[in-house]
Amino acid sequence: QVQLVQSGAEVKKPGASVKVSCKASGYTFTTYYIHWVRQAPGQGLEWMGIINPSGGSTTYAQSFQGRVTMTRDTSTSTVYMELSSLRSEDTAVYYCARTYSSSSAVDSWGQGTLVTVSS
């Protein structure tokens, strides 16, 4: 069955960077896009960007431009999201999510990774 398994919770200091992984299984890795969506405590869902695992092309939400980098490793079917210059407002659960095309509905989500930014 389709699974997106994310790395574990992280605690970071302001100004640091965090790299979250998302390992895909149960389908052909390069045939689905991967989005990253975050959810601050008690808040709604916020789209961060998308990566095409086939060629590695990315599109980032404007609010994260310059701070986020999404990469993939096709040998391990893993996608990575790195967020730099962390601030307290970046404390959130980060989800990876799969779509068949860039604009289609998300049909599978990772379990989420809690990133806490605190001094």
Partner 1 sequence: QSVLTQPPSASGTPGQRVTISCSGSSSNIGGNPVNWYQQLPGTAPKLLIYSNNQRPSGVPDRFSGSKSGTSASLAISGLQSEDEADYYCAAWDDSLNGPVFGGGTKLTVL
- Residues contributing to the site for partner 1 (CB under 8 A): 35, 44-47, 49-50, 59, 61-62, 95, 103-107, 109-112
CB closer to partner 1 out of 74 and 100: 100
Question: Could you tell me the smallest distance in angstroms from the CB atom of residue 15 to partner 1?
Answer: 27
- In the complex, the smallest distance separating the C-beta of residue 61 from partner 1, rounded to whole angstroms, is 6
The strand pair at 33-39 and 92-99 is best described as antiparallel
How many beta carbons lie within 10 A of that of residue 28, not counting itself? 10
CA distance 21 to 19: 7
- The nearest distance, CB 74 to partner 1, in angstroms, is 23
Query: Of the two residues 44 and 55, which places its CB atom closer to partner 1 in the complex?
Result: 44
The smaller minimum CB distance to partner 1, of residues 13 and 44, is found at: 44
3-state secondary structure of 29: helix
Closest listed residue to residue 18, CA positions, set 95, 78, 85, 82:
82
Burial 6-24 (b: 16+ CB within 10 A, else e): bbeebebeeeeebebbbbb
Task: Between 35 and 72, name the residue whose CB sits nearer to partner 1.
Answer: 35
Q: How far is the CB of 105 from partner 1 (least distance, A)?
A: 4
